[in-house]
């Protein structure tokens, strides 16, 4: 299929959306698959020898998912919560289809795109007909609907300031063993200093920022203390589905935390396929504890715990955790989230308890000696 360079004449994106970029004509025989640079960065070929995501359903809360050759057979019809006409398989904007492609595009020849988890399925939950207006209460409603209809991972490459019900909906997902992944937001679409957008900023959500091919954090990504991971998000090819006057084709290059969010959702799907009995809290622990350190030591506002390491997340020996690591205290070293001891937790251990008792006894002895010395001096005086 011929490459289609889609013009950048969109209205301002009001969410954590991708920004289309016109691709320069290629002077070589470079294929579209070659332009998926992150496939090599993440060593997706090695990951696919382990699993391709079979049996996992990823809900995409977005503008719907339209028809595209790279998505044939990959998308499950869900529900449309958007105002106006259309089903969940209607995408008049193109954003939702692009996110679905990054997660489950089935590949084919080298001029077609390959998703991170091509044997997973996308459940389309249409929370908005366009990129404006999706940051309203239909996102919490969409989260609950996706949980109730079999999603094991929820991708939200969108957001803003949710009106009501965001934290409760996220808690509902976590309580039902579902991993929620959301974009930190794009600087161009939100006021300076607004911070990480919702639902990414809600505790327990895997909030994702973007980095480029060199591993440097994208200057257009919103940073903040809620950021959990960074993943490829710059110069990413994406599918463009039919609908709204669009033709079936591709965006040759897009930038945004939407992209990095979908890639992390694909990674979560691979982990859930490789370890089908692994609880969501331990899926998240695998993602954060195996990330490659980047930025300031420990968890930082740009990279979170670091850059996604897909193969390590699938293969490393990671101990189970007692609770969602994003809801617990973290070590200042930040290499992995660490659950804080709860009340009554015998976390000191026998050796430390004995040391504490001995130290207290020494203090008492020193006080007794001091009292005796002062008493003798008074008697002599």
Question: Active-site residue 68, yes or no?
Answer: no
In 3D space, the residue among 48, 25, 45 whose CA is nearest the CA of residue 274 turns out to be 48
3-class SS of residue 361: helix
What are φ and ψ of residue 61, in 5° steps? Answer: -90, 105
From 95, 124, 184, 201, the catalytic residue: 95
Q: Measuring CA to CA, how many Å separate 29 from each of 127, 238, 240?
A: 39, 19, 22
d(CA 97, CA 239) in angstroms, rounded, equals: 7
Give the neighbor-by-neighbor strand order of the sheet with 153-156: 75-80, 121-126, 57-62, 153-156, 179-183, 206-211, 229-232
d(CA 116, CA 42) in angstroms, rounded, equals: 10
Q: Which two tokens mark 242?
A: 């039919």
Question: Active-site residue 164, yes or no?
Answer: no
d(CA 210, CA 200) in angstroms, rounded, equals: 13
Q: Measuring CA to CA, how many Å separate 200 from each of 47, 155, 162, 310?
A: 26, 11, 11, 21
Q: How far is CA 114 from the centre of its chain?
A: 19
Q: Which two tokens mark 352?
A: 């430390």
Question: Active-site residue 258, yes or no?
Answer: yes
CB within 8 Å of 26: residues ≥ 6 apart:
none
Is there a contact between 290 and 308 (Cβ–Cβ < 8 Å)?
A: no
3-class SS of residue 64: coil
3-class SS of residue 350: helix
From 97, 157, 240, 258, the catalytic residue: 258
Compute the CA torsion angle 22, 28, 31, 34 (nearest 10 deg). Answer: -90
d(CA 6, CA 119) in angstroms, rounded, equals: 28
3-class SS of residue 173: helix
From 48, 62, 93, 300, the catalytic residue: 62
- Render 157-169 in DSSP notation, one character per residue: ---B--SS-HHHH
Q: What DSSP designation does 77 have?
A: E
Residues with a known catalytic role = 62, 95, 258
């Amino acid at each position: 299929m011929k490459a289609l360079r889609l013009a950048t004449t969109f209205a301002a994106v009001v969410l954590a959306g991708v920004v289309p970029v016109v691709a320069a004509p290629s002077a070589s025989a470079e294929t579209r698959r070659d332009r998926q640079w992150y496939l090599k960065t993440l060593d997706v070929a090695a990951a696919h020898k382990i699993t391709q995501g079979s049996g996992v359903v990823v809900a995409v809360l977005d503008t719907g998912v339209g028809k595209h050759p790279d998505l044939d057979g990959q998308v499950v019809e869900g529900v449309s919560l958007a105002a106006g006409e259309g089903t969940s398989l209607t995408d008049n904007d193109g954003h939702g289809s692009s996110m679905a492609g990054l997660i489950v595009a089935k590949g084919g020849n080298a001029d077609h795109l390959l998703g991170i988890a091509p044997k997973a399925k996308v459940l389309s939950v249409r929370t908005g007909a366009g990129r404006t207006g999706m940051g309203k209460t239909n996102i919490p409603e969409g989260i609950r609907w996706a949980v109730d209809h079999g999603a094991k991972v929820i991708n939200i490459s969108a957001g803003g300031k949710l009106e009501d019900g965001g934290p409760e909906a996220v808690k509902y997902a976590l309580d039902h063993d579902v991993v929620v992944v959301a974009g930190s937001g794009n600087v161009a679409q939100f006021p300076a200093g607004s911070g990480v957008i919702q639902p990414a900023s809600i505790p327990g959500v895997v909030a994702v920022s973007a980095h480029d091919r060199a591993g440097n954090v994208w200057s257009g990504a919103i940073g903040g203390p809620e950021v959990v991971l960074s993943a490829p998000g710059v110069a990413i090819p994406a599918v463009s589905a039919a609908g709204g006057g669009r033709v079936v084709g591709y965006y040759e290059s897009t930038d945004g935390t939407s992209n990095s969010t979908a890639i992390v959702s694909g990674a979560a799907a691979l982990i859930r396929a490789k370890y089908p009995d692994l609880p969501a809290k331990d899926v998240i622990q695998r993602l954060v504890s195996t990330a490659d350190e980047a930025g300031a030591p420990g968890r930082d506002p740009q990279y979170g715990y670091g850059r996604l390491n897909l193969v390590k997340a699938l293969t490393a020996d990671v101990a189970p955790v007692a609770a969602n690591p994003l809801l617990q205290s973290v070590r200042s070293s930040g290499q992995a989230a660490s659950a804080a001891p709860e009340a009554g937790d015998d976390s000191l251990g026998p050796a430390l308890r004995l040391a504490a008792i001995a130290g207290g006894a020494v203090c008492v002895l020193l006080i007794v000696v001091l009292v005796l010395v002062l008493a003798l001096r008074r008697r002599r005086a």
